[in-house]
Homo-oligomer: A and B are copies of this chain.
Amino acid sequence: MSESKTQKLMEVSTKPASGFRDFLGLEAKKRSELISTIERTYESFGFEKIETPSLENIEVLLGSGGQDNEKLIFKILKRGEKLLEILEKGENQETDLADLGLRFDLTVPLCRLVAEYRDKIALPWKTFHIAPVWRAERAQRGRYREFLQCDVDIVGAGGIGAELEVIQAVVKAFANLGVNEIELHLNHRGIIEALADKFGFGEKKQAFAILLDKRDKLSAEKFESALNDLSGAKAPTELLEILGGKSKASDFEKLAPEAYKQIFEIEEALSRLSLGLKDVKFNPSLVRGMGYYTGMVFEVMHASEGLALGGGGRYDKLIGRFSKRDIPAVGFSLGFERLLLLLEKTKEASSGLRRIFIPVFDEKLRVAVLKLAAELRDHGIECDVYPDADKLKSQLKFASQKNYRWVLMAGEDEIQSREFKIKDFSTGEEESVAQGHLPNHFKRLFSLV
């Protein structure tokens, strides 16, 4: 029946689609452990978990201030009669063909959610959201089309207490993940506005900000020439010096007093908080892409690797796009894939599997073995029973491929006598243990690993 239906399609590639990834073995396990650590950290601060759909109505995603990312939305083809109708017309536009899109970040869905459940949510609201996002990037090494974001946000708090606590939570999450060499880079959108005004980009603020955001990706020459193009003249040396890092936040005390005050207060509070940050740096050219930021923006860098591990900022106007009134908000998005890259470099994958392997000597013993394994699991001991009828040799080969150290020998005699041999693969030694003592025996073995 199934053969007639499932065609043999040998020409179908078994690779994941271009820009997408499969995870198995230790890699999948590691991803899972990191997610748990981040979740536990954010929960320990009282942040509440949310989930939103992968797909949003396309109008929610478009015009959300996601800038370039809006061009990268994976759009869902309309279905059924709606699609037929459009196809029959013939003169179809891209915009007519799709009604849904995969989210490109977690901030836009969060803002929609806050607007929708405004009555249910007590403000200020601390929340976190760990989920994949999708961007139709050109596939290239290290750039993926589906990747995990870990966002933490405080909604409804306008003071710098919100920035401080988001930063505290993020730095703690990194510490719990074993990442300690952290630098925090700070800026304020008010600084960028002031620079744009002072140096004559007032009419072209948006383009000025976008250019600053790309500064890291351009050579000094290319950046300067793009800046000249934008200003329509030679860009002032003073501006180039400021952007080149030759300025302190205090230089902006008069130019952007409110922005300066916030940066000053946050820097001062961070130094008292002793979070263990390697450095806190003011960086007047830090923009953080998204058009929706309105105040502080920040980025976390790994000090020695020079790798950006995530960033965020204040977006006081984005919720208002969906709602009758603006609600202030601050968030940070941790770059999960970058983090994994870093941890692969700095840490070896954990081995030392704390689980027992039980071969099945004879099929007629399988039920007894499955029962024994269930009893051990009830005592918190993880057991892997070999699931097929195979020679003992193949079963033990399987155990060694899976890096199991301890094998519980459960032959007919052992099951009868309720006295089992435990073999240690790493030493070749065997010892006999009575059934009733197995759980404690294994707990002791595991505690020594």
Question: Interface residues, chain A, CB within 8 Å of chain B?
Answer: 1-10, 12-17, 20-25, 28-29, 31-32, 39, 43-46, 48-57, 59-60, 63-65, 67, 74-77, 79, 83, 87, 90-94, 97-98, 100, 102, 112-113, 115-117, 120-122, 124, 126-127, 132, 134, 136, 145-146, 154, 156-159, 161-162, 164-165, 168, 172, 189, 192-193, 205-206, 209, 269, 272-274, 291-294, 315, 317-318, 320-324, 355, 357, 360, 363, 366-367, 370-371, 373-374, 377, 382-389, 398, 401-402
Contact = CB atoms under 8 A, between A and B. Distances in A.
Nearest to A108: B6
Contact of A46 (B3, B90, B355): B355
B291 A57 contact: no
Given A46-B384, A98-B77, A273-B370, A57 B206 contact: no
Nearest to A272: B367
**Copies of this chain present:** 2
A154 B398 CA distance: 14
B76 A377 contact: no
A57 B20 CA distance: 10
26 contacts: A1-B192, A4-B206, A5-B65, A5-B67, A5-B206, A5-B292, A10-B324, A14-B322, A16-B112, A22-B117, A24-B121, A32-B39, A44-B382, A45-B385, A46-B402, A55-B134, A74-B79, A77-B97, A87-B94, A124-B388, A156-B388, A157-B387, A157-B388, A161-B360, A161-B386, A161-B389
A177 to B, nearest CB: 15
Given A45-B383, A77-B94, A77-B98, 10 more contacts: A2-B293, A14-B322, A22-B53, A29-B48, A74-B79, A75-B77, A122-B401, A159-B388, A159-B389, A164-B370
A51 to B, nearest CB: 4
A73 to B, nearest CB: 9
A426 to B, nearest CB: 19
Contacts of A383: 44-46
Contacts of A206: 1, 4-5
Contacts of A16: 52-53, 56, 112, 116
Nearest to A39: B32
A120 B25 contact: yes
Contacts of A64: 6
B269 A63 contact: no
Given A134-B54, A377-B44, A382-B44, A6 B387 contact: no
Contact of A321 (B8, B120, B269, B272): B8
Contacts of A17: 53, 55-57, 100
Contact of A1 (B54, B158, B193): B193
A168 B370 contact: yes
A21 B53 contact: yes
